[in-house]
Amino acid sequence: MQSIGKENGQKNIPDREVVVVEEEEEEQEELNQDWSQVASLVNKNAALSLPKKGEKDYEPDGTDLQELLLYKAKKAMFDTISDSIRGTTIKSQVKGYYVPHRHQAILPKPKGSFMQTMGRADRYGEYWLEFHEFVYLAERGTIIPYYKLEVNSSGESLDHDIEILLSMEDLYSLFSTQQEMDQYFVFAHLKRLGFILKLCGQDTGVKTSFYPARKQQNSLQMLTSRLLSLFKIQEISLFSGFFYCKWNFFFRKYTTSPQIYQNLNRLICSVAVPKTKYELWNAKNGGEVNHKKQHLPLTFDVWKPHANFKKKNPGLPDFQILVFNKNDDLQHFPTYEELRSIFTSLDYKFEFLNRVDDDFDWDANSYVEGIARSEYNLKTSTRSHTEKKASALKTKSNTQKKTKQPCTKKRPRTYPPHIQQNRRLKAGYRSFILAIMDNGLISFVKMSEADFGSENVWYTPNSQNKPVRKLKGGKA
């Protein structure tokens, strides 16, 4: 492969070469490799298929069965790739030009399926890629990266006259910080798995938010909420005082264990965790007062792979990711203060709301430009042509069907309270993904808020010998 690259007179283009194919027949957008052979190998016989991950023999058993299987699988794969033509056709080549002062790349003639999820056209009709998207596509071989020299001084026109083909090494050297590079690795890793990622600050079409546009909060409301929270703490100390007195059990009588527990659990208060839509709104408003300075901004919004993704109007992300480098002295694992400020800054499909209500309608409960997303979608669809209208209606009816179907399916899925409680405890509430970079290795951790303080798990013995678990006891 390298020899071909040198013949073409281009330095250092690893893993990629341009094959000039003149024939008209080969005008497919992408060359398809014939994987049917491999597929047949897999399907023919379960024992002949590629050895599955993790099913290794414990030790060499003196026979060559394993080796034979491996050899067959490998050979099938090599045969497949050796038959196909490598490279891209010149007509379907997409060139990307890196523009240093914007630290972005411009594509004069963009085409390809990547446009569905990446890049953005500005109002002059020029198609721009973020730098990490540019590197990713170059690494995949989808676009060919060039460096665009700006030649203002010589007075030449700003056509892309001087362009330098970039190698992967060159591209990597263009990362401005180590942090950006770490972010790129996380981006590329998840992107390869099919997820759709956007930088959190990146402006993408319209911004969808779980929170409605902020109205001026009533100062009276704020005052009362403050007062209430103050009262709550005091109440705790007033009540709990006597319980811990030495003579408590001589003066007060408790006829059930839960009574004792209820007195015990007033002593230590726990952080209030928002669990419903309105609590989330309140937490957001209150949180902005408390945590003015946000220490750690989130890095990526992530959507699960889905075919109908709309760049212009993506809806709420499924996850939000914070990238952090373990070996960077300037970064550290978030402290609780920082975790809380991250939790308040989250704005995604809070999946725990689905736990209470399976049919929680996300379009009705997320806001685009100050109005509910469902309304917004309706507005945009009526604005467009009648054809589109028809298609929109079609999809709408489809979605209606879809929502109806799970209704019937999900109805019997009501779990007994103690199992629901267990799920609440184990899954927690607001959550984000922490991506930890360690010398090129990425580990992901899901951090979620938990609230053991509002769940009581004590067992109440009763005469019928029937286990009854108390659900949601009184939290002071």
Residues 279-318 that bind other proteins (CB under 8 A): 304-305
Q: How far is the CB of 413 from other proteins (least distance, A)?
A: 18
Q: How far is the CB of 53 from other proteins (least distance, A)?
A: 12
Find the helix or strand (DSSP H, E) in which 255 lies: none
Full 3-state SS string of 34-54: CCHHHHHHHHHCHHHCCCCCC
Asked if 269 touches other proteins (CB under 8 A), the answer is yes
Asked if 396 touches other proteins (CB under 8 A), the answer is no
Q: Choose which of 162, 446, 468, 472 interacts with other proteins (CB under 8 A).
A: 446
Question: CA of 293: how far to CAs of 69, 96, 287, 424, in Å?
Answer: 59, 38, 11, 30
Q: How far is the CB of 78 from other proteins (least distance, A)?
A: 23
Burial code (b: 16+ CB inside 10 Å, e: under 16) for 175-200 equals: beeebebbbbbbbbebbeeebbbbbb
CA distance 156 to 150: 9
CA distance 234 to 168: 63
The piece of 62-70, 121-129, 166-174, 208-216 that touches other proteins (CB under 8 A) is 62-70
Asked if 393 touches other proteins (CB under 8 A), the answer is no
Residues 15-54 that bind other proteins (CB under 8 A): 45, 47-48
Do 453 and 269 form a contact (C-beta atoms < 8 A)? yes
Asked if 129 touches other proteins (CB under 8 A), the answer is no
Asked if 330 touches other proteins (CB under 8 A), the answer is no
CA distance 325 to 413: 41
Q: Choose which of 235, 438, 468, 471 interacts with other proteins (CB under 8 A).
A: 438
Q: How far is the CB of 154 from other proteins (least distance, A)?
A: 49
Q: How far is the CB of 404 from other proteins (least distance, A)?
A: 20
Instruction: Pick the closest to residue 305 from 143, 192, 176, 172 (CA basis).
Output: 192
Find the helix or strand (DSSP H, E) in which 357 lies: none
| Residue with token string 């009648």 | 386
Residues 332-351 that bind other proteins (CB under 8 A): 332-337, 339-340
Q: Choose which of 213, 271, 289, 356 interacts with other proteins (CB under 8 A).
A: 271
Asked if 420 touches other proteins (CB under 8 A), the answer is no
Nearer to other proteins (CB atom), residue 83 or residue 244 = 244
The piece of 140-148, 256-264, 355-363, 378-386 that touches other proteins (CB under 8 A) is 256-264
Q: Choose which of 18, 206, 281, 428 interacts with other proteins (CB under 8 A).
A: 428
Structure-block tokens of residue 120: 């953005």
> Cα angle vertex 202, ends 197, 203, to 5°?
115
Nearer to other proteins (CB atom), residue 9 or residue 62 = 62
Find the helix or strand (DSSP H, E) in which 459 lies: strand 459-460
Residues 158-197 that bind other proteins (CB under 8 A): 189-190, 193-195
Q: Choose which of 246, 292, 385, 413 interacts with other proteins (CB under 8 A).
A: 246
Q: In this structure, what is the dihedral angle of CA atoms 25, 31, 32, 38, given to the nearest 10 degrees? A: 120
Instruction: Pick the closest to residue 305 from 191, 463, 170 (CA basis).
Output: 191
Residues 202-241 that bind other proteins (CB under 8 A): 236-237, 240-241
Q: Choose which of 78, 172, 231, 244 interacts with other proteins (CB under 8 A).
A: 244
Do 298 and 190 form a contact (C-beta atoms < 8 A)? no
Structure-block tokens of residue 182: 């770490």
Torsional sign, CA 444, 445, 447, 448: positive
Q: How far is the CB of 127 from other proteins (least distance, A)?
A: 28
The piece of 87-95, 280-288, 387-395, 456-464 that touches other proteins (CB under 8 A) is 456-464
CA distance 236 to 474: 13
The piece of 72-80, 210-218, 288-296, 452-460 that touches other proteins (CB under 8 A) is 452-460
Size of the site for other proteins (CB under 8 A): 79
